[in-house]
Amino acid sequence: MALRQKNPTSPGTRFQIVDDYTDITTNKPEKKLLAKWKQNSGRDWRGFVSMRHRGGGNKKHYRIIDFKRDKDNIPAAVLSIEYDPNRNCRIALVEYEDKERRYILAPIGLTVGDKIASGTEVDIKPGNALPLQSIPIGTTVHNVEMEPGRGGQLARAAGAALTLLAKENGYGIIKMPSGEQRMIHLACRATVGQVGNVDAKNKVLGKAGRKRHLGRRPEVRGVVMNPCDHPHGGGEGKSGIGHVSPLTPWGKPTLGKKTRHSRRLSERFILTRRK
């Protein structure tokens, strides 16, 4: 991926830095791997808004991604590198020798025509998926499972990568991008390499309209509201939040308040916190 800065022909493009899409090889997705995307505007299963400032945006289809990588010992060829509107990394369309096609996350260095495979004895090269037991210590991996057979859940965003530090007592110790070290069962699968499209974090939207195209609605600061609308509201002129610690609109502590549950099952697998 490469970025380019637009000519300042309007206030919206003055500071805009966009993707040039030179790594995309086709603009036609595989129709059999598309699914309908239902707009829920940040609402949960009850119909209540659980994530604010969501709604609108361009219409899109969901691309069915193979996060499990469980088609073992059957080589596949990369047919195309495609854009996915649902994530900031690229996806690769691969075709196995039995003519089945699947989408996978495209790591750095994967190009059209490359061969990939999954299994316990495949080569250690970008795009191949193996159990942690078969991956050498020090290897960079992504799309890592947290439970065997569940599918990759860790390191799926653009530029994300984990490092396998050690293996002991049936678990592998991986280092997260945040610095946290966590134990993962050695039967869990991971894909070799780093997720591509590393420069995605350097893009500059440049105008509010591009944020709306992504389905993000405006956010209003609490300090500019009235006291009846937010705990930070009110005051004469520009005033502070008026509390010892910041609060949510419903009066709960935020911005530094620990939200992890100490009795959660996965907590016992964390060796070193990110802080």
What pLDDT does 258 receive?
Answer: 80
- Is residue 69's pLDDT more than 90? yes
In the predicted model, what is the mean pLDDT of residues 235-250? 90
- Is residue 8's pLDDT more than 80? yes
Predicted confidence band at 7 (pLDDT cuts at 50, 70, 90)?
Answer: very high
What pLDDT does 272 receive?
Answer: 87
- Is residue 197's pLDDT more than 80? yes
What pLDDT does 265 receive?
Answer: 66
Q: 220-275 belongs to which CATH class?
A: few secondary structures
- Is residue 137's pLDDT more than 90? yes
Q: SS3 for 19?
A: strand
- Is residue 275's pLDDT more than 80? no
Q: Show me where the domains of the chain are located.
A: 3-201, 220-275
DSSP summary character for residue 136: P
What percent of the chain has pLDDT above 90? 86
Phi and psi torsions of 242, nearest 5°: 80, 10
In the predicted model, what is the mean pLDDT of residues 83-94? 96
In the predicted model, what is the mean pLDDT of residues 167-172? 94
Distance CA 149, CA 164 (A): 19
Per the CB < 8 A criterion, the answer to whether 106 and 81 are in contact is yes
Predicted confidence band at 1 (pLDDT cuts at 50, 70, 90)?
Answer: low
- Is residue 179's pLDDT more than 70? yes
pTM: 0.89
**Residue 256 one-letter amino acid:** G
Distance CA 149, CA 230 (A): 45
Mean pLDDT of the residues in the chain:
93
What pLDDT does 39 receive?
Answer: 87
- Is residue 264's pLDDT more than 70? no
Per the CB < 8 A criterion, the answer to whether 4 and 13 are in contact is no
* CATH 2.40.50.140 is right for the domain spanning 3-201: yes
In the predicted model, what is the mean pLDDT of residues 194-212? 94
Q: What separation in angstroms does the CA of 239 have from each of 63, 72, 186, 244? A: 47, 61, 54, 14
